[in-house]
Structure 1
Amino acid sequence: MKLATLNDGTRDGQLAVVSRDLKTAHLADGIAPTLQKALDDWTFIAPQLDLLYQTINSGRGHRAFDFDPANCLAPLPRSSARVAGVSYLQQIERACKAAGREVPADLRETPRLYQGASDNFLGACADIELAHVEWGIDYEAGLAVITDDVAMAATPDQAQMGIKLLMLFNDITLRNVAAEEAGTGFGFLQAKPAVACSPVAITPDELGDAWRGGRVHLPLRSSVNGKLAGQPNAGADMTFNYPQLLAHLCRTRPVRAGAVISAGGVANKEVKKGFSSIVDRRTQEIIADGAASTPYLQFGDSLRIEMLGDDGKSVFGAIEQNVRQFDGRRARPA
């Protein structure tokens, strides 16, 4: 099934079930007011949501209405935890090659994770508002899973059972700020403003055969200012799958329902399919030409991230954002 959170003026929005073709929606107010409430009692709530999903797909939802992604918050506007992994290790290998460094010896043995801010996820059509273009504004197109409760020391097979939903993820990164923070020896914070999510989150069964091995085997398309930047396959060269990332996170602690786990920007070993971030393109330019030529995002730029199924139809809906300069005057109380 496909779930969205509509903007009703509250922090957590209103849960809605969306048709498979993303054309209509139906409020889930009689089942669960928010997605977090649904996740907190998923075993009981999910079958009721699925029944409503079947109803609107059959055209029998008497309270169905046109679905508008612009009226959506993130599927989960805030979460119990947000953890990011790096599963497309060819990006690290390319970065090491460009910088003349050795690749870490254990790169492909142990997943690398960091915990980011989870108090504010952006809707799919929300602007990317930042104060300074000199911060090096970059997008990072990937996917994330949303979990149920997962016990400490869970195996990857057990962790996979805890994966309830998937969504697209634009992990916005300020590359020049990241370089400064990396030098402190602590994790990223200022370099990682609010990320954006697809209009809907979907259950894994919606992917059919494309969901196998704990990976999504479909291309992820990114466009900047209407020009295709890349469409690498999300499953082809993913070293650590989502169950492995989640099991690694659970090594020393349990994970609570509503945790969001991402796997980094999608990348393939072969660069002919393009890139899911500007920094990865710049790295390849350094390798090939000795210098990077692609600029980071500028104010006024537009961005689109979308995944199409084998039938050519949008799976999650599109993330469509504009980059604009933050006006601090609008954030001050009157």
Structure 2
Amino acid sequence: MRFLRVGPFGAERPALLAADDETRAYDLSGLTGDIDGAFLERLLDEGTERIGTLLAQGALPVLDLAGQRIGAPVARPPKVVCIGLNYRDHAAEAGAEIPAEPVIFMKATNTVVGPDDEVLVPRGSGKTDYEVELAIVIGRTARYLASPADADAVIAGYAVSNDVSEREFQLERGGTWDKGKSCETFNPLGPWLVTADEVGDVQRLGLRLTVNGEPRQDGSTAGMIFDVRHVVWYVSQFLVLEPGDIINTGTPAGVAMGRADKPYLQPGDVMELEIDGLGRQRQVLGKA
């Protein structure tokens, strides 16, 4: 199933995307107040059968998505955990060694916006960059998982994420990476949360990103150094993962920082990105 949130910022309505028509959805307001941690935990515990039954009975109100804003598919994530340098080709373009263990950093949760919302170039920025990434959405509390094989039981689904970054703030201003990652609007998410059973082989998904129509990134999750299950297991050794948490799993090569011409983002630029089966995003850059 593909879940989404529809409506103005702060007043989104939980919905289920129609299986055969991406312009139509079904209102889930009668079942849940939002697509949040509590909903995702119930979804993993109870499965999708109840929703499927209501859908088959015609008991879910229809939503026409034409002209509607699509919000981030998860409301108020408790945490946004990020994995750096997790693609071999991206590590190479950054001039970095292949990490022996996953590189973990955090991103402010209020960076999360809708997939087509405006992204703001921060004040004083000269090196705003893009990163198409697979996002893992956590559906159960996870602490000290015994092995990567246990990760499947805590994953609610997946989504497209744009880990927007300001490289000067991240790398040249001292301290940790977080301040180059946590500027407002720096994590468009969605359009959908796609349940794991619908994604298939999560390690064979194509990721693509263009800026002003020019291809910049074209990779596959097969290029990850640490795969999805390993990442969830590893993070659980250091952080308690909670329902609704997001894990950004890294980006393939092609970011502006790694290109010879350093084509950093400017106000007015348009980013478009997609991951196979998880939908598309489009953001116009504005000024903070």
TM-score w.r.t. length of structure 1: 0.77
Matched, 1:31 2:31: yes
Greater strand percent: which structure?
Answer: 2
TM-score w.r.t. length of structure 2: 0.88
Aligned-partner Cα distance in 2 for 1:62–1:149? 26
**AA at the equivalent of 1:307:** I
Give how far 1:203 is off.
0.6
Aligned-partner Cα distance in 2 for 1:189–1:115? 10
Structure number with bigger Rg = 1
Please list every run of 5 or more consecutive structure 2 residues that lacks an aligned counterpart in the other structure: none
What is the total number of aligned residue pairs between the two structures?
A: 281
SS at match of 2:199: helix
Residue 62 of structure 2 aligns with which residue?
64
- Taking the TM superposition and a 5 Å limit, the aligned residue runs for 1:251-270 are 251-267=237-253
**AA at the equivalent of 1:64:** V
Question: Sequence identity of aligned pairs in percent?
Answer: 21
Contact 2:23/2:64 (<8 A) preserved: yes
1:206 aligned to which of 192, 195, 198: 198
Change (3 A) 1:51 1:221: farther
**AA at the equivalent of 1:297:** L
CA offsets per residue over residues 228-256 of structure 1, 9 Å max, x none? 22321222x11111111111111144311
1:227 aligned to which of 190, 214, 217: 214
Contact 1:88/1:266 (<8 A) preserved: yes
- Taking the TM superposition and a 5 Å limit, the aligned residue runs for 1:73-222 are 73-86=71-84, 87-96=86-95, 103=97, 107=99, 109-132=100-123, 134-154=125-145, 155-181=147-173, 183-184=174-175, 186-193=176-183, 194-208=186-200, 211=201, 215-222=202-209
Matched, 1:295 2:263: yes
Please list every run of 5 or more consecutive structure 1 residues that lacks an aligned counterpart in the other structure: 98-102, 268-274, 283-291, 309-314, 327-334
**AA at the equivalent of 2:225:** T
CA offsets per residue over residues 177-199 of structure 1, 9 Å max, x none? 11234x33x34224432300121
Aligned-partner Cα distance in 1 for 2:67–2:135? 19
Contact 1:70/1:125 (<8 A) preserved: no
RCO higher in 1 or 2 (8 Å CA, sep ≥ 6)? 2
Give how far 1:91 is off.
1.8
Give how far 1:301 is off.
0.7
